[in-house]
Structure 1
Amino acid sequence: MVANTRMVVIGGDAAGMSAASRARRYRKPDDLEITAFERGHFTSFSACGIPYWAGGEVDGPDALIARTAEEHRRRGIDLRMRTEVTEIDLAGQRVRARDLEGGTDRWHGFDHLVVATGARPVRPPLDGIDAPGVYGVQTLDDGQALIDGLTGTDGRRAVVIGAGYIGVEMAEALVRRGFQVTVVDRSPQPMTTLDPDMGTLVHEAMCGMGIEVVTGAEVTGIVTGPDGRVAAVATAAKEFPADVVVLGLGVRPGTALAEAAGLPLGESGGLLTDLAMRVRGHENVWAGGDCVEVLDLVSGRTRHIALGTHANKHGQVIGTNIGGGYATFPGVVGTAVSKVCDLEIARTGLLEAQATAVGLRFVTATIESTSRAGYYPGARPMRVKMLAERGTGRLLGAQIVGREGAAKRVDVAAVALTARMTVDQMTALDLGYAPPFSPVWDPVLVAARKAAAAVRDAGA
């Protein structure tokens, strides 16, 4: 029996398989035929767990897989692994898929197409960037290649290029594996997802765990040895010996396939969708995950944020709409957390540079506090920074750096941003209190009070 509707999914990770699974809950196989293509060896996996796998804190790769290919198939989804979609024919409503093991190509028709092609690690066009011993980290295949390389390397010198989330997390993982680690970044401080004054705390913590942090340094090339393997990372000032190099330069939307098909892209190269996650101008084409741009609810502009939390939500929205229900994805406020050793790092909303770029006038407030009542054992210091709009007092962003109990406090600020609260309104929030969990005035509320005072002073 021929299915009434054909749904084709490109990409077998969070967004793609969430969309397929959600649509299947709405419609049975004899009403909706779902075919998904994944070019890698793994499906529905946690890329965020790769640094912890590399560092030996969690097992992998099986522990990082939420649902196997066979489990998807048992639920009525025709998931084809090691199959890469190489062309989208919008006019003909079909995609060309290549079996990477057998080398054969075949066209597959669709009534609904879901583009969930993820993101690609940034690999700048430097000499030696593709040499053996240089690794990007985005998929479980990448993670396995890295771990195999670490195991098979006699030398213990590692250089991480880039000090963003992945770079910092991979630096810690390499330290755990006994490598001598150097992190090279062109910015004044690591973690450009924080303002520089907050990034200083991350810099200090990394140095404290034995990592050499080189900032303000542009990488000019990868030096290779006589055997062709990586031997050093070169900057304008000096070379840093390396037996292993890990790229932590961030990611870009994986939209080459979509761009070739003529689908609309935004400033960062991500696909542009409406609130239903339908690609703009295309009634039966949907997109979600790390390959799209989303609405920033604070700045009002679209931006690219590669996070599994968003990808899963995108997939749920897409699957619901294809299945016959109704759902939307309203946007994000830019919340993210990470850690280096025992230092927790969190941010939400806009940084100073981002607020300035969209024309917002703001005040800032930074406070020092503790995770628990100061007299309670285990109280640890934390720093909280807030941005508030001049005049209105609307919260624009928050950053928190501290030890245990610091990072998840950012969720209070994320809710306040979503609700468009002012920092003055935040001071009245009824947050939980007991000495083992918080001072009488929670650090977030202390920062809100100081920000509210700064707004009043600016108005005066």
Structure 2
Amino acid sequence: MIVGGDAAGMSAASQARRTKGPQELEITAFERGRFSSYSACGIPYWVAGDVSGRDRLIARSPEEHRARGIDLRMRTEVTELDVAGRRVRWRALETGEEGWTGYDKLVLATGARPVRPPLPGIDAPGVHGVQTLGDGQALLDALSQEPGRRAVVVGAGYIGVEMAEALLRRGYAVTVVNSGEQPMATLDPDMGRLVHEAMTAMGITVVGGTEVTEVLTDGEGRARGVRAGGADHPAELVVLGIGVEPETALARAAGLPLGAHGGLLTDLGMRVRGHEDVWAGGDCVEVLDLVSGRERYVPLGTHANKHGQVIGSNAAGGYGTFPGVVGTAVSKVCDLEIARTGLREKDARAVGLRFVTATVESTGRAGYFPGAAPMTVKMLAEYRTGRLLGVQIVGRDGAAKRVDVAAVALTAGMTVEAMTALDLGYAPPFSPVWDPVLVAARKATAAVRAAGA
């Protein structure tokens, strides 16, 4: 039995079905929404117009899952877990019908819920989230009614900057209000400042270091901007991009183990700790950070699909493990690419690591080749040992995917000195003779040697 019909849940169902046929394994899945197996990460690009329609974001429909022998029950919400009794209570949202259904093996893939602070006016018409396909459709409908005016985006993380681009391209005057001094808190502030400067140059107003205290409304109760830090920012549209938190209310009520970030805790096989026949994956779990050795919360579709593969194999009698993550993520705002992997400075300090940093400016192609554009690479290396701890990249012209080299190096536990000898591809249209990541590794190596002298 699976609770949640998106990435982790339906990947688990599909993998379990590949492992065992309908005569050997009965699979039932409950999904409270109207869509299954879709890419929430693609919603900003749908809003921007890069994706032609909602259906392009759906990997597999409920009908397709059912055709594969999976009993997927849409618009059905699980309201209670009885782990001791091996059953769940559910309610059909369209009819109100309720009941209990028993299970032998349970998979929790309840995902995440958007952070929605309890502010005056937060539920007013004109305030939009971007968590589900329904959210995306509601926002697009609003854009068609009030095209090209003013919008405020609350939050400047991945969703916030992507939605700022989408609205800018829709002709809106965009203001981004962020609690942090710089956008992209997943970067160190010096790298976030580069994002801030680029967004400002694009015509986006970035207001940092201030909290939204109220959504302003008009006489009809519709959103007409936000108040933050004593200043009013008028808009006809307010988009929330504050982030998400694990949807683990059911698990908490059932007494299942949760971590410091509120996510379920699992073992390497994605089995909930202390519960032999309960698994969990996707945005409702915490994962092991392979660099710091600590549990962290990293809600990404890449992890959710991998979790599902492991869970499906194990629940169906096979074998699989999910060893952990290094925290790799990429994003963009217009032509600016943003990437990070591993630890930030404050992450390293939090776990007691001493480190050195190196920051370099380079180009994505040979400097003489047409279209060469600048990028900045920051690298963290452990004091004395030189072990790579993290990399952040901000730039254009293929900057973001260069972080994959660093992600592999982190996973392998490489030192920055060993990285300098990596045999990376070179041709003037693709890279300088010394790739920017390797230039940063050379500088980090020198910093490690100087620190240990």
- TM-score normalised by the shorter chain: which range applies? over 0.9
Unaligned runs of 5+ in 2: none
Does the 8 Å CA contact 2:3/2:29 hold for their aligned counterparts? yes
1:273-314 deviations in Å (ceiling 9; x for gaps)? 000000011111100000000000001000010100000000
Q: Please report how far the alpha carbon of residue 232 of structure 1 lies from its aligned counterpart in structure 2 after TM superposition.
A: 1.8
Q: CA deviation at 1:377?
A: 1.1
Match for residue 283 of structure 2?
A: 290
Q: What letter corresponds to residue 338 of structure 1 in structure 2? A: S
1:321 paired residue number? 314
Q: Of residues 136, 144, 159 in structure 2, which corresponds to 1:143?
A: 136
Q: RMSD between aligned alpha carbons? A: 0.9
What is the TM-score with the length of structure 2 in the denominator? 0.99
1:228 aligns with 2:254: no
| Equivalent runs, 1:12-411 vs 2, <5 Å | 12-153=5-146, 156-411=149-404
Shift of 1:437: 0.7
**Corresponding position of 1:5:** none
Moved more, 54-63 or 447-456: 54-63
Show CA shifts across 1:70-125 (max 9, x none): 00000000001111111111111111111111111111111111000111110011
> Could you tell me how far apart the structure 2 residues matched to 1:25 and 1:292 are?
24
TM superposition shift of 1:154: 6.2
Rounded Cα–Cα distance in structure 1 between residues aligned with 2:133 and 2:330: 21
Give distance in 2, aligned partners of 1:398 and 1:387. Answer: 6
Residue by residue over 1:141-194, the C-alpha shift from the partner in whole angstroms, topping out at 9 and shown as x without a partner, is: 111122122223367211000000000000110111111110000111000111
When the two structures are aligned, how many residues end up with a matched partner? 453
The secondary structure found in structure 2 opposite 1:23 is helix
User: Separation in 2 of the partners of 1:53 and 1:45?
Assistant: 12
Whether the 8 Å CA contact 2:79–2:91 is kept in 1: the answer is yes
Listed as ranges, the gaps of 5+ residues in structure 1 are 1-7
User: Is contact 2:341-2:390 (8 Å) kept?
Assistant: yes
Question: Contact 2:147 / 2:171 at 8 angstroms: preserved in 1?
Answer: no
**What is the CA–CA distance in structure 2 between the aligned matches of 1:378 and 1:155, rounded to whole Å?**
31
Q: Which residue of 424, 434, 454 maps to 2:447?
A: 454
SS of 1:103 mapped into structure 2: coil
Deviations 1:356-375 (A, max 9, x none): 11110000000000111111
Contact map agreement 1:155 1:243 (CA 8 A) in 2: no
Partner SS state of residue 213, structure 2: strand
Per the normalisation by structure 1, the TM-score is 0.97
| Paired residue type of 2:316 | G
CA distance in 2, matches of 1:172, 1:98: 39
Deviation at 1:218, TM superposition (A): 1.1
The corresponding residue for 1:3 is none
Q: Match of 2:99, SS?
A: strand
Alpha-carbon distance in 2 for matches of 1:291, 1:417: 25
Specify whether residues 452 and 154 from structure 1 end up closer, same or farther in structure 2 by C-alpha distance, changes over 3 A only. Answer: closer
1:420 maps to amino acid: G
Secondary structure class of the residue paired with 1:298: coil
Partner secondary structure for residue 224 of structure 2 = strand
SS in 2 for 1:35: strand
Aligned-residue identity in percent:
76
